[in-house]
């Protein structure tokens, strides 16, 4: 997917004034935030310890990252022993090339997909369509935005920005059936359309919530059952999974499954968890005959051992964006790439380059709501701060950031020379008073106009603090 | 990197693994240390994370039942296998769901036709409206069924039909998912997971249109559980 994070500021301000978007986000927020809180409270009331569970989750993910090469080899060995083919891709282009080749090898005409953020990173649908393979999203939310030709705006509720009228329009236009406006009826119509694809597709493409090294399996978590369909009906299953998703054992899976649904939707467990291992046997009556894993780097390997390694613990639950005041105001599309919210503000610059997403590290109030709810205790605000530091060190940034930096340098120099400082401050306050033109607010701050785009700057009285202090001291004496 | 070109395939793999090694320690002693750490971890029993739960049959049964109902399954209890076909027939009659369906072949021997049901032992197809399965385990903590795919229990039977009826013998109850995996290690062929292990907790659902909950997304609209106390 094309990275459009450079347009963050413009998109964010457009969306911040879109009242209908905020209405939709608010409903979802109530459900997800309230749901999570209730689920956590219930877990603790039953004698569990959710805080300790978060530490366990964090520990499992850290242990893997410390020995990631060996865990990947272990996974590869066990998956291969069960008849799967393990492939590796360094970037999105390699993912697309491999999937296209697999499709061609098996004469695939139609592929069905269950939600995979990585295939969004790679722009996989476009690559398949370019060689004549239809590629159909089957998660209802993903399906809706595929019809609308839009990117997802939330990692677990991709069509959160659409209301039912917009969905009804899309269905009417694409399904060629009488328009329906009851949500249950619309869902049934989509089920029927997608069912016809499930039974006729030759290839299923999934992501993977976890790869279990011990058994060479992939675990898929869904509520709709599309993850099961996609891996059961077509003869070929391709799982595209980031290298960081491996976990040691089935028991670790059980522990992480206590964290993921509670953090994501407030469910005790998702409706379906499928653990897929190897291919159909001779005697089996259903299931995929061919299983391919594509283990993907696309920026992940570079984070191992870096100051941003902790980000690789992420289990893609979406809690950080559900609890983020910035996300709640601007929605997911403003972030300009696959991942929105706090996790996206960290991941997008790291995976695509700080120069492509210079504003994202600033798209947070550092209120730490995200850090408090993250099931694997990723210190998101701290990582955002580190990204800002890096931005300053490497000199990447917007014109405003550069002007701010110049001004701070100048200030730093002056602050070390008291006389110069007093003189400079005197000039500056008088200049600002002049700029205000007799009013008490400055509408455009000429040096850093960005600062006054959405608000005015209070004008000084025309005297510096030192001058006022000296006056007062004189009066008292 | 290409599917058909082994050199290119190996190049992508080696580049990813060698870059990891450059960071994690590439000398043979460091690699050996990591291998040992991984081996040790694979054998390690991790501390339990579930809340303290009853592990006696009555306690597990009560918990399983209430959790399953929370996930929108319906539940009836019977005393033994002999009552099962009639209990299933009664449920179908009450809901007006017909008398025909598909059944996991491992359960074909029960006297279904005596109860007036016509069930075919095979995998499910798109047009089937009813699927009857057993379960390998039933997890009390979350009210979850664990089904292992096998020739006698095809994965499609619990997936394609609009109604899924699952038979749950009390002896299959376990407190947690960890306990279910342990039992799989003891009882599944080779102690390994089969092609598909499916954990099912209620009917399929979606909230993707305006976050409004709808039951029956791609899988069943309803899941009905027959708990068999004496089996
Ligand atoms: S960063 Fe944490 S809270 Fe956000 S999606 Fe990842 S795991 Fe969930």
The Cα of A231 is separated from the nearest Cα of chain B by a number of Å equal to 9
Nearest to B30 by CA among A84, A446, A66: A66
Q: Sign of the C-alpha dihedral, residues A375, A379, A380, A381?
A: positive
In degrees and rounded to multiples of 5, residue A10 shows phi and psi of -60, -50
How far, in Å, CA of A264 to CA of A40, rounded? 11
Least confident of A375-384, A446-455, B86-95: A446-455
What's the confidence (pLDDT) of residue B182? 96
Same-domain status, B16 and B87: no
Best of A319, A348, A371 to mutate for ligand 1, by most ligand atoms within 8 A of CB?
A: A319
Q: Does A14 have pLDDT greater than 90?
A: no
**Coil, strand or helix: which one is A219?**
strand
The tens digit of pLDDT for each residue in A281-297 reads: 999 999 999 999 999 99
**Run of H or E including A183:** helix A183-200
pLDDT above 70 coverage of chain A, percent: 95
- Mutate which of A35, A39, A223, A264 to disrupt the B interface (most B C-beta within 10 Å)? A223
Q: Which chain A residues are closer than 8 Å to B71 by Cβ?
A: 268-269, 271
In a domain, B116, yes or no: yes
In a domain, B51, yes or no: no
Q: Are A121 and A351 in contact (CB under 8 A)?
A: yes
In a domain, B188, yes or no: yes
What's the confidence (pLDDT) of residue A398? 60
How far, in Å, CA of A338 to CA of A357, rounded? 12
Half-sphere exposure of A409 (CA within 13 A, CB side): 7
Same-domain status, B76 and B185: yes
In a domain, B207, yes or no: yes
Q: Does A430 have pLDDT greater than 90?
A: no
Best of A259, A263, A382 to mutate for ligand 1, by most ligand atoms within 8 A of CB?
A: A263
Same-domain status, B34 and B116: no
Same-domain status, B37 and B71: no
**Coil, strand or helix: which one is A416?**
coil
Nearest to A313 by CA among A391, A380, A223: A380
Which residues' Cβ are closer than 6 Å to ligand 1?
A: A 314-320, 343, 374-376, 378
What's the confidence (pLDDT) of residue A104? 96
| Ligand 1 midpoint to CA A474 (Å) | 58
Same-domain status, B105 and B209: yes
What's the confidence (pLDDT) of residue A465? 82
The tens digit of pLDDT for each residue in A241-269 reads: 999 999 999 999 999 999 999 999 999 99
In a domain, B75, yes or no: yes
> pLDDT per position in chain B (231 positions), as tens?
577 788 988 999 999 999 999 999 999 999 999 999 999 999 998 788 999 999 999 999 999 999 999 999 999 999 999 999 999 999 999 999 999 999 999 999 999 999 999 999 999 999 999 999 999 999 999 999 999 999 999 999 999 999 999 999 999 999 999 999 999 999 999 999 999 999 999 999 999 999 899 999 999 999 999 999 999
Question: What is the pTM assigned to this prediction?
Answer: 0.89
Same-domain status, B188 and B139: yes
Q: Give CB contacts under 8 A, 24+ apart, made by B42-48.
A: B42/A74, B42/A213, B42/A214, B42/A248, B42/A249, B45/A251, B46/A56, B46/A249, B46/A251, B46/A252, B46/A255, B47/A56, B48/B176, B48/B178
Same-domain status, B77 and B121: yes
Q: Give CB contacts under 8 A, 24+ apart, made by A407-411.
A: A407/A447, A407/A448
How far, in Å, CA of A159 to CA of A253, rounded? 28
Mean pLDDT of A222-251: 97
In a domain, B1, yes or no: no
Same-domain status, B144 and B184: yes
What's the confidence (pLDDT) of residue A452? 64
The tens digit of pLDDT for each residue in A387-422 reads: 999 888 877 656 666 666 777 787 778 778 888 888
Same-domain status, B19 and B105: no
DSSP state of A215: T
Q: Least CA distance to A60: which residue of chain B?
A: B46
- Mutate which of B20, B102, B108, B127 to disrupt the A interface (most A C-beta within 10 Å)? B20
The tens digit of pLDDT for each residue in A145-195 reads: 999 999 888 888 899 999 999 999 999 999 999 999 899 999 999 999 999
What's the confidence (pLDDT) of residue A128? 96
Give, in order, the Cα–Cα distances in Å from A146 to each of A116, A124, B46.
13, 12, 42
More confident residue, A329 or B63: B63
What's the confidence (pLDDT) of residue A401? 65
Q: How confident is the model at residue A373 (pLDDT cuts 50, 70, 90)?
A: very high
Residue B90 CB partners (closer than 8 Å, separation 6+):
none
How far, in Å, CA of B145 to CA of B73, rounded? 11
The tens digit of pLDDT for each residue in A56-75 reads: 999 999 999 999 999 999 99
CATH number at residue B68: 3.40.50.10420
Nearest to A163 by CA among A364, A18, A314, A45: A18
What's the confidence (pLDDT) of residue A290? 98
pLDDT, chain A, mean: 90
The number of domains in chain B is: 2
What's the confidence (pLDDT) of residue A453? 59
Nearest to A378 by CA among A317, A296, A302: A317
In degrees and rounded to multiples of 5, residue A404 shows phi and psi of -60, -40
Same-domain status, B39 and B120: no
Q: Does A379 have pLDDT greater than 90?
A: yes
Q: Which chain A residues are closer than 8 Å to B15 by Cβ?
A: 90
Q: Helix A399-415 to helix A418-436 angle, to the nearest 10 degrees?
A: 140
Same-domain status, B39 and B62: no
Could you tell me the residue range of the domain that residue B111 belongs to? 57-228
Same-domain status, B92 and B204: yes
In a domain, B50, yes or no: no
**Tokens, residue A23:** 């209405």
In a domain, B49, yes or no: no
């Amino acid at each position: 997917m094309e990275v459009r994070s450079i347009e963050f500021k413009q998109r964010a301000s457009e969306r911040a004034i879109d009242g209908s978007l905020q209405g939709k986000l608010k409903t979802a927020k109530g459900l997800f935030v309230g749901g999570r809180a209730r689920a956590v409270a219930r877990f603790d009331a039953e004698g569990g310890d959710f805080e300790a569970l978060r530490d366990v989750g964090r520990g499992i993910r850290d242990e893997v990252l410390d020995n990631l090469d060996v865990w990947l080899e272990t996974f590869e060995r066990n998956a291969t022993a069960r008849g799967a083919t393990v492939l590796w891709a360094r970037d999105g282009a390699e993912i697309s090339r491999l999937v296209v080749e697999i499709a061609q090898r098996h004469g695939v005409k139609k592929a069905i997909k269950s939600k995979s953020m990585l295939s969004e990173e790679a722009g996989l649908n476009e690559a398949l369509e370019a060689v004549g393979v239809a590629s159909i999203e089957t998660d209802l939310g993903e399906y809706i935005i595929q019809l609308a030709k839009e990117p997802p705006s939330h990692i677990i509720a991709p069509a959160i920005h659409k209301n039912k009228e917009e969905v009804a329009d899309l269905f009417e236009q694409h399904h060629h059936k009488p328009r329906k406006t009851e949500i249950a009826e619309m869902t049934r119509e989509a089920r029927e359309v997608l069912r016809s694809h499930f039974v006729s597709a030759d290839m299923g493409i999934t992501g993977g919530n976890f790869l279990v090294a011990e058994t060479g399996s992939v675990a898929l978590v869904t509520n709709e059952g599309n993850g099961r369909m996609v891996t059961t009906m077509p003869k070929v299953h391709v799982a595209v999974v980031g290298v960081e998703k491996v976990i040691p054992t089935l028991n670790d899976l059980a522990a992480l499954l206590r964290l993921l649904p509670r953090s994501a939707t407030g469910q005790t467990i998702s409706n379906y968890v499928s653990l897929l291992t190897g291919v159909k046997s001779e005697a089996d009556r259903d299931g995929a005959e061919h299983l391919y894993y594509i283990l993907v780097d696309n920026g992940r390997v570079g984070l191992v051992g870096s100051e941003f390694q902790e980000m690789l613990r992420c289990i893609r639950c979406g809690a950080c964006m559900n609890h983020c005041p910035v996300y709640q105001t601007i929605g997911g599309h403003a972030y300009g790439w696959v991942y929105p919210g706090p996790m996206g503000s960290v991941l997008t610059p790291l995976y695509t380059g700080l120069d492509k997403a210079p504003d994202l590290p600033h798209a947070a109030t550092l209120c730490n709501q995200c850090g408090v709810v993250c099931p694997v205790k990723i210190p998101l605000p701290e990582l955002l701060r580190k990204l800002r530091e890096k931005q300053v060190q490497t000199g990447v940034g917007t014109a405003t950031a550069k002007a701010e930096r110049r001004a701070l340098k100048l200030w730093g120099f002056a602050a070390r020379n008291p006389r110069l400082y007093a003189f400079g401050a005197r000039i500056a306050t008088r200049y600002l008073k002049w700029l205000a033109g007799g009013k008490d607010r400055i509408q455009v701050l000429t040096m850093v106009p960005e600062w006054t785009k959405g608000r005015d700057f209070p004008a000084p009285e025309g005297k510096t603090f030192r001058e006022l202090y000296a006056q007062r001291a004189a009066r008292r004496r | 990197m290409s599917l058909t070109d082994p050199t290119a395939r190996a190049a992508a793999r080696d580049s990813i693994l060698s870059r990891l090694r450059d960071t994690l320690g590439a000398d043979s002693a460091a690699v050996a240390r990591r291998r040992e750490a991984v081996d040790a971890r694979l054998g390690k029993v991790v501390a339990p994370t579930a809340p303290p739960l009853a592990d006696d049959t009555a306690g597990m049964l009560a918990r399983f039942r209430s959790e399953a109902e929370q996930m929108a399954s319906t539940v009836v209890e019977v005393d033994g296998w002999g009552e099962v076909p009639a209990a299933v027939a009664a449920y179908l009659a009450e809901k007006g769901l017909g008398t025909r369906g598909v059944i996991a072949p491992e359960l074909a021997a029960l006297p279904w036709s005596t109860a007036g049901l016509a069930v075919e032992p095979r995998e499910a197809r798109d047009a089937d409206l009813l699927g009857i399965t057993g379960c390998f385990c039933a997890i009390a903590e979350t009210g979850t069924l664990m089904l292992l795919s096998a020739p006698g229990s095809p994965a499609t039977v619990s997936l394609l039909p609009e109604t899924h009826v699952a038979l749950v013998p009390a002896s299959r109850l376990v407190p947690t998912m960890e306990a279910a995996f342990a039992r799989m290690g003891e009882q599944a062929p080779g102690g390994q997971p089969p092609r598909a292990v499916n954990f099912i907790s209620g009917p399929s659902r979606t909230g993707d249109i305006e976050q409004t909950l709808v039951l029956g997304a791609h899988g069943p609209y309803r899941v009905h559980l027959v708990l068999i106390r004496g089996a």
